[in-house]
Structure 1
Amino acid sequence: MSHTYAGICRAFGLVLMVVGLGACTVYAPMQPTMPLLDAKGQAEFSGSLQPNGRVEATAAYSPAAHLLLTAGGTVRPKLEKVNFLVTRQYELGVGGYLPLGTAWQLNGIGGYGQAFSHRSFLEDGFFIASSRREYRARYHKYFAQAGIAHVDDWNNFGFTYRLTQVRFSSLTDAELGKLPLTNMLRHEAMFFWRRPFPRGYNWETLATVGLSIGPRLEPNDFQNPYGPTERAANHTLRSVLFTSLGLVYHPAWGGR
């Protein structure tokens, strides 16, 4: 088991190095994490760190059998001068869980969130010098997600899929001004792996890797002629790869 654990850690470390700061888009999705609660009164809290320095925290509680309440937030301050991401977000959710035997669990959550995001980066061109792009966005979102997980005393792992409707209250480019994009639909999937501490402790290590995919608008999808602002709006729809390492704490129960 120790060899498996070390192998997973090495593989995840390689992913972190490859991902770096992630995609250059102002949209910064939160991770569609899946709580592993299976009884009334249980709760769990998680915190994770992404390779770009972004911190994310979530909490989940089961006030009644099969009922799930969730809350989450994420923040990243400005750490660089040119290539940076600044974001502040929160989301709230309600859903349910269904144990399948002793080792598997289904989970479904629907919710709402709000976000502010500010991103700047250098965009390389093949035949021209690099140019600096800077975007700001405020948006709210509605999401629905479903997940499945395998749970035991040694390893907990699973997959979560989220469908997110993003609605921009403002979306601007520093040079071009307001961009012609009011909403977008994102497909977001995440694999996660949780390693419990020895029995009797209430902690788990957490590793995640996921992808957020947006639609690609064509020139005839815009009401106005396809120009610089439309191309900049399309930039917001790029895919985003996200990874993290963290810890999970569940105070109401220890081990499984």
Structure 2
Amino acid sequence: MLSESVLEELLRETPMREHLVREAWPDLSTESRLQISQAFDVGWMAGVPDWLSLLALNDTAVIVRYWAARLTHFQPPRPEGVDDVLGPLSERTEEQKQLYEMARTDSSELVRLCADCGETLTYQTLATVSQLQRLAFLRTLSMPHLGVFFQWLDTAVRAGVPDLELRECLREFVSLPAVREDLEPTPMNTSMMLWWRSAPALPSRAVGMSRELRGERCRGSWHISCRPAWAWQRSLPTS
């Protein structure tokens, strides 16, 4: 494992960073390679640079390839018949083409799934795929949205996805750092709860807005998630 000071020096954002990591990579342990990829998982636009993805996707350790793949912004080919509205801005580089093909043909299903997320693997297809695909998709969400997830949960219940698998999906989703942060009690959340309680007394013209803010569209799905109450509660993280 790399010490904090060494990792900081190695990954300082300068032109030398790529050269230093390339020189160090062959002699690094699996844990240190994971450290380097994980260090780029910061901020709402987190992601490893293409040159690092290429290094990691050529690694013999599956976990190193997966760790980088889940933080790589893959650029799949544009579907036939779709207009190129962005022109040259949407052109894939040779590195991006190579990364996508490497991930799609990897021997590990986990790595392949990272390339599929957002393409063949979306919330629209999630109810009909394998449980591993669902969990991999949820784990790689960079901007998770509570409302969208519970809308999908409603769809999954109607599609007959088993309760045990749904509980696993719920646990995977609410364990995401961004979701845990959203669920933390805050003064704003408390104020909103007080406002929700008074919302029925609002004038009729405000009802539509109040329902939207109160999350009526996903509240039904939340109640569905509580149907086997003891099981769902046990699936939630406690800290």
Q: TM-score, normalised by structure 2?
A: 0.29
Larger Rg: 2
Q: TM-score, normalised by structure 1?
A: 0.28
Q: Larger % of strand: which?
A: 1
Q: Larger % of helix: which?
A: 2
